[in-house]
Amino acid sequence: MFTGLVSDVGEVLSADVRGDLRRIRIRSNYPAATLLEGASIACDGPCLTVVAKGIEGDRNWFEVDVGAETLARTNAQSWQIGTKLNLERSLKLGDELGGHIVTGHIDGVAKIVAIEAFDGMKRYLIEAPMPLARFIAEKGSVALDGTSLTVNEVKDNRFSILLIPHTLKVTSWDVRQVGDTLNLEVDLMARYAARLIETKP
C-alpha cells in the first residue's frame, strides 16, 4: 500500500531486456542499506519488487524486474536511461496517510493533452481511457505516475489537475510534456462503489 506522496525522484540508469522481462536499475536517494530485497517500491505508479541493490561511487541504486503484464498495462515500456521516476516506499504501520490509499496496481495509461503554466503552477488536461472515465469525479482523488492528485474538472473522458510549485519541485512532473503518457490508478473507493452498484439486485 502507498499514499501517492512521492518521497524521491529516481533516474533510470539501465534498462536491460531479458525476453519478456526488463531489468531496470534506478538511482535513488534511498540508502541502499535500508532497502531489503523483496521490498515493494512504487516506481511512477506500479508497485515493483526490489531484486538487487548497491552503491556505485556516491550513487545508491536498486533494481526491479518489470514483467510482460506491467509492460503491457503501463508506460514502463518507454522507460530508458535518464527517465525520471516518482518513487515511494511502501507504507509502514503508523505512517501518516497524507494522500489517499494507492495500491500500485495501474488501471490504464492516460495522456497529457494540454499544459497551462501560471504563477509558478501548472494545470494539466488529461485524457483517460474511456472505460475508466466513470471512476474519475470532480474533487475526487486520482493517482498519476504515482502522485496523489485532486481532480479539478471533468468533461467526458478528460479531466484537469493543478500542481502547486512544491509538487512540481519534488516530483518529475515539471519535465512532463504534451503527449506524454501517464500511469493511471483510479480511486479504490470509486472502483468498489461502482462494483457494488453493478451487482445490486
> In terms of domains, do 29 and 79 share one?
yes
Q: Is residue 36 part of a domain?
A: yes
Tens digit of each residue's pLDDT (9 = 90 or more) over 14-63: 999 988 899 999 999 999 999 999 999 999 999 999 999 999 888 999 99
Question: Containing domain of residue 47, as a range?
Answer: 8-89
User: Each residue of 123-153: b (16+ CB within 10 Å) or e?
Assistant: ebbbbbeeebbebbeeebbbbbbbbbbebee
- Asked if residue 97 belongs to a domain, the reply is no
- Residues 186/132, Cβ–Cβ less than 8 Å: yes
Cα first-last separation, the chain: 32
Of 89, 116, 131, the last residue of a domain is: 89
Residues 173 and 114 both lie in one domain:
yes
pLDDT in tens, 158-194: 999 999 999 999 999 999 999 999 999 998 676 656 6
For residue 93, count other CB atoms closer than 10 A to its CB.
4
- 75 and 140 share one domain: no
* Judgement on whether residues 77 and 115 belong to the same structural domain of the protein: no
Do both 70 and 39 map to the same domain? yes
- Tell me if 26 sits within 8 A of 120, measured CB to CB: no
- Domain tally for the chain? 2
Nearest to 161 by CA among 97, 103, 112, 107: 112
Q: Is residue 101 part of a domain?
A: no
Whether residue 42 contacts residue 147, with contact meaning beta carbons closer than 8 Å, is answered with no
- E-state strands within 39-98: 40-43, 47-56, 59-66, 84-89
Does some domain include residue 125? yes
Are residues 77 and 125 located together in one domain of the fold? no
pLDDT-based confidence at residue 123 (cuts at 50, 70, 90) = very high
**Distances from the Cα of 152 to the Cαs of 34, 147, 158, 177, in angstroms?**
37, 15, 11, 19
